[in-house]
Amino acid sequence: MYDFNTLGFIGAGNMCEALLVGIISSDFFQAENIILSDIREDRLKYLKEKYNVKTSIDNRETVKASDIVFLSVKPQDIATVLSEMEGILNPNQMVISIAVGIPTYFIESYIKEEVPVIRVMPNTPALFQSAMSVLSKGKYANDEHLNFAKRLLSCVGEVDILPEKLQNAAAAINGCGPAYFFHFIESLVDAGISVGLSKDIAYKLAVQTMEGSVKMLKESDRSPTELRRMVTSPGGTTIAALEQLEKGAIRFFIIKAIKAATNRAEELSQKLNK
């Protein structure tokens, strides 16, 4: 059983703050056992005052003080941060990275020791404690590390574990997903306006209907097909609308879109070479 008592974040931006809120409010780590570092001193001052956590402008100091090192900088800053860490991590620590598209082998290639690394793909609803995160373990991580990371990420929402080879496919759904749903809502609002509704009413109808539909999916034990059939009466209005969606080959294009996002993620990962 590993003894992880201190948590350090490298990069104290939006995702770090979202995780901080979830972790402190669920008592997973006490604020005095959390240290944040960032290149922005004003950001550190703000977070220190708001959450009572420790801060440091020095990433190396944070890494040395932390059992778990959380990498929460943007993907383009990961290599810089990892270069600073060379030689100071040890196998009793664990690295958790939420940098989109950065494989565990890339992180491991910078760390000379056999340090466990967990890769996470969260999504923007984490900012509202409603994330869907996907976790994968690297070469030196075991199930215990994975389960600890799972409990940690559960502080901001739902978590699932997947083999790393499926991370890009998962990201095409959960990572990009919020954009698809927002795009769909935007389209519904425009459609509502085209049939005479005001923008505000169309927006309220669309958003509340999406929320209610999600509640039905989560709380009933019926499949999406059964729930759709409940509102699709023969010769009625819903089937008239669905016929138009199918004429536009909506399923075909959704599948194409998810494949395009997955392929793009693969291309971006392949460009990453130390």
Ligand X SMILES: NC(=O)c1ccc[n+]([C@@H]2O[C@H](COP(=O)([O-])OP(=O)(O)OC[C@H]3O[C@@H](n4cnc5c(N)ncnc54)[C@H](OP(=O)(O)O)[C@@H]3O)[C@@H](O)[C@H]2O)c1
Which residue number places its CB atom closest to ligand X? 13
* 176 φψ region: left (φ > 0), alpha (ψ -120 to 50), beta (else): alpha
Instruction: Give the C-alpha separation, 66 to 55, whole Å.
Output: 12
> Among the candidate windows 6-14, 104-112, 137-145, 161-169, which touches ligand X by CB under 6 A?
6-14
Instruction: Give the C-alpha separation, 109 to 140, whole Å.
Output: 12
Q: Which residues are paired to 160 by β-bridges?
A: 134
Q: Assess 123 for contact with ligand X (CB under 6 A).
A: yes
Q: Which residue among 6, 7, 8, 10 contacts ligand X (CB under 6 A)? A: 10
Q: How far is CA 165 from CA 32, 50, 110, 136, 162, in A?
A: 37, 39, 20, 9, 8
Q: Which one, 65 or 188, has the nearer CB to ligand X? A: 65
Total binding residues for ligand X by CB under 6 A? Answer: 27
Q: Which one, 7 or 98, has the nearer CB to ligand X? A: 98
**Cβ atoms of residues 103 and 269 within 8 Å:** yes
Binding mask 39-78 for ligand X (x = CB under 6 A): xx--x---------------x------------xxxx-x-
Q: Among 183, 131, 167, which Cα is nearest to 19's?
A: 131
Q: Assess 117 for contact with ligand X (CB under 6 A).
A: no
Binding mask 152-181 for ligand X (x = CB under 6 A): -----------------------x------
How many Å from the N-terminal Cα to the C-terminal Cα in the chain? 33
Binding residues (CB under 6 A) for ligand X: these are: 10-16, 37-40, 43, 59, 72-75, 77, 80-81, 98-100, 122-124, 175
